[in-house]
Amino acid sequence: MKRKRSTYKSKKSTGKALTITLLLTGLLMTAIVVWIGMNDWDVSKTLRQVDIGKTEEPLPEQQEIEPEDVDETETPEEEREAEEETPPVEEEPVEEEPPAKVEETEKKSEQQTAPEKPAKVEEKPKVTNQPQTSPNKSGYIEGQKLPDEPTYINGILIANKKYPLPSTYAPGENKEAREAFEEMAAEAKLSGFNLTAFSTYRSFEYQTSLYNRYVSRDGVEKADRYSARPGYSEHQTGLAFDIGEVNYEKYWASNKFGETEAGKWVAANAYRYGFILRYPNGKEEITGYMHESWHFRYLGKEIAEEIFKRNITLEEYLGIE
Ligand SMILES: [Zn+2]
């Protein structure tokens, strides 16, 4: 009897354990179902959470991006230095529409989302024609033949003593440059200055006669300092504008223009319309020409502003000084 009872007892306790196990299993199953349900039935997400033991958080890398961004916008100097190291890549030729402002903002947002782009190794500017040898005293390369095609550096048309134009290059006055000039002239008028562009596009043939006249008057060495040899004049690009004041012909093509109020206004404001003072004071070694307070080159607003604010020449901007 005692034995029987104990058998009964053990049978009873086994039954109890089974019930508890079943209950616990049921509870566990419910918990799992609820847990998966809380994660939108995404089993892999659930498992990942179980694995990591925490909810998904942005990677620390992404969190660190922000302060860098703030730095960049707060220190334009650094930005400028960085730009100096990496010459601009593939810009539209000046004759074409200047890049819309939208592009600029696109670029900015790119920088914000991917500021960790690898630092570019200093790239050589894309030059379509290379000068052949070293220049003479006047900055020309003696015996250099005029090329068959004009030279573009990073998409910008260049014409100087090292990079001549083909004798057949005859684009005429640039339309966009003319429009920009008219816009500038209209605003200058509001300040009381009546501006005119007294010389813009010059054909190869016209430059030939002009240069020859100067040489016969002043000699080659002197003429080379203020007038371009045929094929080397920026005026042949149609993008160079000699600016003066109506009724003040005495200051045209004279550095006295730079001392007039009108000349000062143009020097300070031309970049806002896409023009740069092409041959600034003290940069004769780089540009090949003495200071010309009247000669402006159209480059479009964006580039002109950068060159003006960095106080550099086009040659320095293009990395060919
Ligand atoms: Zn000029």
Which residues make beta-bridge pairs with 152? 157
- Can you read off the two tokens belonging to residue 173? 């006055």
> In this model, does residue 279 exceed pLDDT 50?
yes
Q: Which two tokens stand for residue 55?
A: 């909810």
* CA 211–ligand 1 middle distance (angstroms): 13
240 strand-pairing partners: 297
Contact 246, 258 (CB under 8 A): no
Ligand 1: distance of its center to the CA of 41 in Å? 74
pLDDT of residue 108 exceeding 60: no
pLDDT: is 95 or 131 the higher one?
131
Higher pLDDT, 106 or 293: 293
Residue whose token pair is 């690898």: 118
Expressed in angstroms and rounded, the spacing between residue 228 Cα and the centre of ligand 1 is 9
Q: What spacing in Å lies between the alpha carbon of 37 and ligand 1's midpoint?
A: 77
Scanning the chain, the segments in alpha helix (DSSP H) are: 2-38, 43-52, 60-74, 76-85, 101-113, 175-190, 204-218, 220-226, 261-269, 284-287, 301-310, 314-318
Distances (CA, A) of 106 to 11, 109, 136, 261: 78, 5, 45, 39
**Rounded distance from Cα 39 to ligand 1 centre (Å):** 72
> Across-strand partners of 243?
197
Handedness of CA 246, 250, 256, 260 (dihedral sign): negative
227 CA to middle of ligand 1, Å? Answer: 8
Give distance in angstroms: CA of 212 to centre of ligand 1: 16
**Per-residue pLDDT for 6 more than 60?**
no
In sequence order, which residues have a C-beta less than 8 Å from that of residue 311 and are 6 or more positions away?
none
Which amino acid is it at 298?
Y
Rounded to the nearest whole angstrom, what is the distance from the C-alpha of residue 198 to the centroid of ligand 1? 9
Query: How high is the pLDDT of residue 265?
Result: 98
More confident residue, 45 or 259: 259
Residue 199 CA to ligand 1 centre (angstroms): 7
Dihedral angle sign, alpha carbons of residues 312, 260, 270, 182: negative
pLDDT at 142: 86
The residues with which 275 forms a beta bridge, in sequence order, are 298
The string of DSSP codes covering 121-137 is PPPPP-BSS---S---T
Q: How many CB atoms lie within 10 A of CB 173?
A: 17
The pLDDT, as a whole number, for residue 20 is 54
The pLDDT tens digits for 129-168 are: 766 567 788 889 988 999 999 999 999 999 999 999 999 9
- Section 231-242 average pLDDT: 98
Residue 126: per-residue pLDDT: 72
Taking only the tens place, the pLDDT of each residue in 250-270 is 999 999 999 999 999 999 999
| Cα 290 to ligand 1 centre (Å) | 11
Rounded Cα–Cα distance for residues 184 and 76 (Å): 28
| Rounded Cα gap, residues 106 and 262, in angstroms | 37
Residue 84 scores a pLDDT above 90: no
Distance 125 CA to ligand 1 centre (A): 26
CA 144 remoteness from chain centre? 32
Average pLDDT over residues 217-231: 92
pLDDT at position 25: 56
What does the alpha-carbon distance between residue 87 and residue 319 come to, in Å, rounded to a whole number?
A: 7
DSSP 158-207: E-SSSS---TT----S-HHHHHHHHHHHHHHHHTT--EEEEE----HHHH
Residues above pLDDT 90, as percent of the chain: 53
Residue 90 pLDDT class (50, 70, 90 cuts): very low
Ligand 1: centre distance to CA 280 (Å):
12
Give dist(CA 145, CA 165) in Å, integer. 10
Predicted pLDDT of residue 137:
83
Average pLDDT, the chain: 75
Q: Tell me, in angstroms, the distance from the centre of ligand 1 to residue 219's CA.
A: 19
- Going from the Cα of 317 to the center of ligand 1, the distance in angstroms, rounded, reads 20
Centre of ligand 1 to C-alpha 189, Å, is 22
> Ligand 1 centre from 224 Cα, in Å?
13
Distance from the alpha carbon of residue 221 to the mean position of ligand 1, in angstroms: 18
Please give the pLDDT value at position 36: 43
pLDDT at 208: 97
**Ligand 1 centroid from CA 129, angstroms:** 23
265: CA distance to ligand 1 center in Å? Answer: 18
Ligand 1 centroid – CA 258 distance (Å): 14
Query: What distance in Å separates the CA atoms of residue 279 and residue 293, rounded to the nearest whole number?
Result: 7
